[in-house]
Chains A and B, each alone.
Chain A
């Protein structure tokens, strides 16, 4: 499957992905792992889906171009770095590992994410961090440098999302409507102004506690390191925390009794 122009040296495998079908590309990655590659450099990526899906090794994948939908879906271990924009479904149901995007992300970023970390330099689309969850030491983290769109962190059940608003012009608020609708777990930290009328039902705004601040500082420091930014400047603006008013927002809707 691996083509002759795919050079494997020093356990680094470079692949020119132009015109390569997504199934063939993902087979190349799996075969590369089996042959001992620890780092992949994918060039000319144009829309191939599911890159990194199902990989459980701690390999690194550098992507140049525009990876397709469901990048890193169900991924369990690899580190992916995207030099470009990501499309929809980034980190869908991801289990562990890390994705860093030097650009924007599409809709459904971190959907149903169970663990691992995602850092996006720019904006994210609709339904980002929807239904993230956590269990014991599995605690997913999403940091978005810009703003996000409607249904941000809807049905959130666990983990943490940090929304930094760095792409918003002065005086413009985050405009995501239905933020945190149905949220019943997890933590949302937001830098920049929000419009309370756009909050989902059952979500309350709080000030950050000392442990919250420690978390935010650590996440922002990691974010700033990936994108060569000044963490101190980012942290100098106020943050708010959104949390669920109840852990069972719909407890009485169908069951009748909370």
Chain B
């Protein structure tokens, strides 16, 4: 039967207008919020996604398991689940395990089997060598390695969340429906991020929805990483294997590598991902010029090329970053202890009608909200700072501002 709507649409406005939407909210004083607002904010940006992917990350949701890694795993078959559970029992002490609670939701179909496991690695001496012969050094290293093993060697099993006291919830559907499906209104977190997906280059599947994560690092992303091949090859040298068929995955692994393994401050990681243009580096005063030059030389393979706006989060921090020439939007807002980040201003004002200020995040300049410190970086143009320190005038920071993390970085290099 003919769809008359399509024939008689006088405005010819049936074009797909989507382009991923991202949202994040953090209470920097640690107060917790249910997932209701973040679901409402994602629903407000409904048209930025096309129903082929939605997801959320929530921090502080498992206070009853503070020291156990919460593994969220999707299985395509019961057999994959059995095989994975046998492996988990061999590698970890499993404190608790259960299906991830879901409710029947219109618009969500074909969900995989979804389970979560709260685990601790067995005693260090019992940790077996990694496949390449090296001994895993820390529990974090061990968990990363085991996640990679499951995702690359057990058919139909994917670990999509592996941090402590946090969790990723994602799947195929509109973001607000995914949030309802996972009962996120019943969780309490001090930091939430959300994503609605409009897949461009890769297929839509449950593991390919955002956020992407490793340990407690999560990334939601609007845009595309055209340097994916280079980034992925570099990360493989450090034991990170991309298995989710989506470019954003490299951002999660690169962040873990640079912060946890190489000890760079997150504000410097932002300058690796969205490095200043060479012409701007040439105009910088010394020693910034030498430092930024060294950063581009050492970490050129982790430069994220192409358009992006991302919200990166981990325990205690939420970071917003746009590519250096602003090819994707990111707006910030604040009210008291609350920091908001979003693709558009409207969802911020919807869930926080009395937001005190909103501002456009500038390309290559990270916004950083930190637990108990407030907004430590506002995400505005550094070139304005070189001329006159006027940032406070705009945004009136709470707490102590991390003036310039370059000294910390030089120590780390």
A residues with a Cβ closer than 8 A to B are 22-23, 46-47, 49, 54, 65-66, 68-69, 85, 87-88, 104, 106-107, 123, 125-127, 149-151, 169, 171-173, 175, 177, 197
Contact with A along B274-296 (1 / 0, CB 8 A): 00000010010000000000000
Cβ–Cβ contact B346 & A171, under 8 A: no
Chain B residues near A69 (CB, 8 Å)?
344
In the complex, chain B residues whose CB is within 8 Å of the CB of A177:
280
Contacts of A149 in B (CB 8 A): 326, 360, 362
Which residues on B sit within 8 Å (CB–CB) of A150? Answer: 325-326, 363
Q: Which residues of A contact B44 (CB under 8 A)?
A: 46-47
Which residues of B sit under 8 angstroms from A123, Cβ to Cβ? 360
Closest to B47 in A: A49
Q: Is the CB of A169 within 8 A of B349?
A: no
Smallest CB separation, B362 vs chain A (Å): 7
Chain A residues in 8 Å Cβ range of B381 = 175
Specify which of A22, A106, A172, A197 is in contact with B387 (CB 8 Å cutoff): A172
- Contact status B329-A68, CB under 8 Å: no
User: Within 8 Å CB of A87, what residues of B?
Assistant: 344-346
Q: Determine whether B64 belongs to the interface, using a CB cutoff of 8 Å to chain A.
A: no
Interface size on B, residues (CB 8 A): 29
Selected A-B contacts with CB under 8 Å, 28 pairs: A46-B44, A46-B346, A46-B347, A47-B44, A47-B344, A47-B345, A47-B346, A47-B350, A49-B17, A49-B47, A66-B345, A66-B346, A68-B344, A68-B346, A85-B345, A88-B329, A88-B344, A106-B329, A106-B331, A106-B360, A107-B326, A150-B325, A150-B363, A151-B325, A169-B388, A169-B390, A173-B387, A175-B384
Asked if B358 is at the interface of the complex by the 8 Å CB criterion, the answer is: yes
Chain A residues with Cβ below 8 Å from B358 are 85
Task: Name the interface residues of B376-410: CB closer than 8 Å to any CB of A.
Answer: 381, 383-384, 387-388, 390, 393
Nearest neighbor of B363 in chain A, beta-carbon distance: A150
- In the complex, what residues of B have CB within 8 A of residue A66's CB? 345-346, 349
Contact (Cβ within 8 A) B360 A125:
yes
Tell me the complex Cα distance, A127–B349, Å: 24
A47 & B45 in contact (Cβ 8 Å cutoff): yes
Cα-based distance from A54 to B349 in the complex (angstroms): 27
Q: How far is the CA of A23 from the CA of B325 in the complex (A)?
A: 32
- Determine the distance from Cα of A180 to Cα of B358 in the docked complex, in whole angstroms: 27
Contact indicator B393/A107 (Cβ below 8 Å): no
- Interface presence of B125 (CB below 8 A): no
Bound complex: CA of A171 vs CA of B389, how far in Å? 11
Which of B327-364 touch A at CB < 8 Å?
329, 331, 344-347, 349-350, 358, 360, 362-363
Top 4 A-B pairs ranked by shortest CB distance? Answer: A47-B346, A126-B326, A66-B346, A46-B346
Report how far A31 CA is from B347 CA in the complex, Å. Answer: 27
- Rounded to whole Å, the gap between the CB of B79 and the closest CB of chain A is 44
A47 CA / B349 CA spacing, docked (Å)? 9
A47, B384: Cβ atoms under 8 Å?
Answer: no
CA of A78 to CA of B393, assembled, Å = 37
Taking CB atoms, residues of chain A closer than 8 Å to B13 are 23
Given contacts A49-B47, A107-B329, contact A65 B388 (CB under 8 A): no
B384 CB contacts on chain A under 8 angstroms: 172, 175
In contact, B344 and A65 (Cβ under 8 angstroms):
no
